[in-house]
Amino acid sequence: MNNKKALITGITGQDGAYLSQLLISKGYKVVGVTRDTSDFRLRNLTYLGLNGKINLHKANLLDLSNIIRIISKEKPDEIYHLAAQSSVGLSFDQPIGTLEFNIIATANLLEAIRIINPAIRFYNSSSSEMYGKVRQEELPVTERSVLHPVSPYSISKASAHWITINYREAYGLYSVCGILFNHESCLRGENFVTKKILNSAIKIKQGSLNELRLGNLDIRRDWGYAPEFVKAMWLMLQQEKADDYIICSGEHHSLFEFVKKVFNNLELDESKYLVSDNKLHRPVELETIYGDNSKAKKGLNWNYDINFDKLISLLVTDEQAFIEWEMKNKGY
């Protein structure tokens, strides 16, 4: 058993919950930071049975004094920075808030580490969205591909990415970025497309819904399974040398394929229920993106082996169990 302590920001989100579960299973003491400890926010931790196993702090990551107080008190060995306004779509409606939180929270955490204890290891979740406008011939993207972000969210993530690297290069911190491609689970927020598809398809199957309305169905993404992605985050902080890694499945499929597979899995014909809605298109869209995960597989020994069919089947099964749990635990 190890006696390490990890602090996770964004602990109530999809990745925060799965990462907490992983670290607790490895014997870590886990401390979490959240804006609010209301029951609704704790849904993911409750679902995984982690309530009571984590020491939660209410904090505003824009307030450096708040962060300094928590890090000084808890003395973590590792910090996993997952908190963000993480919706690309919402960032077009809330550009300033997204830029402010996603950039300044990251800078505040790194500055607090530099002031309090530069030996604390720091992980930051960067995003495939940072690559943005990629030409077909430049795919799959690698850690060395050029960044060309096309949304307020991806611009904020590109800044946080370079701030994290800069603290490594300028001050010698062990600060690293996982460049994550879309990864999904039943703990995904309701405003992300896979959760919407899975939840709607199951409700259509149950007879309580009769349509699924989506935006651009032609986009192609490199979708992965969230519980496997958090393993890579942990591995990144266990290396001799700090470095950044792309974390992705390496496969790419269109949103239409995703819908079709989910409906087929439930023995439904998607053409009877799928409605394409132009109002759900984004002002600027990233059409196709997929990555090369060979650096992570080789360098971190990250064993990811979930192909698209297996991913869909896991997501459908997980979502069915989640809906059942939600019905039984209304109000959690």
Q: Min. distance of Cβ 41 from ligand GDR in angstroms?
A: 18
Q: Quote the distance between the C-alpha of residue 83 and its chain's center.
A: 9
Residue window 180-199: x/- pattern of binding to ligand GDR, with contact defined by CB under 6 A: -xx--------xxxx-x---
Told to check if 282 binds ligand GDR by CB under 6 A, we report: yes
- The number of residues in the chain equals 332
Told to check if 127 binds ligand NDP by CB under 6 A, we report: yes
- Binding region for ligand NDP (CB under 6 A) out of 79-87, 201-209, 213-221, 319-327: 79-87
Told to check if 197 binds ligand NDP by CB under 6 A, we report: no
Task: Outline where 174-293 has alpha helix (H).
Answer: 193-206, 226-236, 255-265
179: β partners: 126, 246
Residue window 252-281: x/- pattern of binding to ligand GDR, with contact defined by CB under 6 A: ---x------------------------x-
- Binding region for ligand GDR (CB under 6 A) out of 18-26, 84-92, 97-105, 243-251: 84-92
Nearest to 46 by CA among 80, 17, 76, 16: 17
> Which of 180, 202 has the CB closer to ligand NDP?
180
Binder of ligand NDP out of 7, 8, 13, 318 (CB under 6 A): 13
- Cα–Cα distance list, 106 to 10, 171, 281, 284 (Å): 12, 15, 30, 26
Q: Min. distance of Cβ 208 from ligand NDP in angstroms?
A: 25
Q: Min. distance of Cβ 102 from ligand GDR in angstroms?
A: 10
Report the catalytic residues.
Answer: 127, 129, 153
| CA-angle at 185, arms to 251 and 14, nearest 5° | 115
In three-state secondary structure terms, 300 is coil
253: β partners: 221
The angle, 0 to 180 degrees and rounded to 10, between the axes of the packed helices 308-328 and 193-206 is 70
Joined tokens for residue 300? 């971190």
Residue window 215-254: x/- pattern of binding to ligand GDR, with contact defined by CB under 6 A: xx--x-----------------------------------
> Which of 126, 200 has the CB closer to ligand NDP?
126
Kindly give, in sequence order, each residue whose CB lies less than 8 Å from that of residue 194, ignoring residues fewer than 6 positions away. 182, 184, 188, 223, 258, 315
Which residues of the shown chain bind ligand GDR in the complex (CB under 6 A)?
A: 86, 88-89, 127-129, 181-182, 191-194, 196, 214-216, 219, 255, 280, 282, 285
